[in-house]
Amino acid sequence: AAGVIQSPRHLIKEKRETATLKCYPIPRHDTVYWYQQGPGQDPQFLISFYEKMQSDKGSIPDRFSAQQFSDYHSELNMSSLELGDSALYFCASSFRTSGRYEQYFGPGTRLTVT
């Protein structure tokens, strides 16, 4: 079965640079979520989109922005990167319209800021 695809899998950036993370949800899934997992921590919710509209917003820095496109893929844009942004970034998707609410996660993008 198709899973959530994230690219790139690994990304190394320097401080103050920008990064763009991409997420391709499971086909027919209508909701995309972004989570950040720091070293030794649990995943923390950043932002979500339902049918291409922002549906919820968590502890996402103002330096970060995200959107969901007409083909349902989503991009997380991160600017003015800081050392503390080094983390695993997970995208998840769900098929909210179906009434099933479990979220399926991608393999993650490991961002390292030097």
Site for another protein in 32-51 (CB under 8 A): 33, 35, 41-45, 48, 50
β-pair type (53-57, 74-78):
unpaired
CB 68, CB 81: distance < 8 Å: no
Q: How far is the CB of 102 from another protein (least distance, A)?
A: 5
- Contact region for another protein (CB under 8 A) — 14-22, 60-68, 76-84, 91-99? 91-99
Q: Is 107 in the site for another protein (CB under 8 A)?
A: yes
* Count of residues engaged in binding another protein, rule: CB under 8 A: 26
- Contact region for another protein (CB under 8 A) — 14-22, 61-69, 79-87, 92-100? 92-100
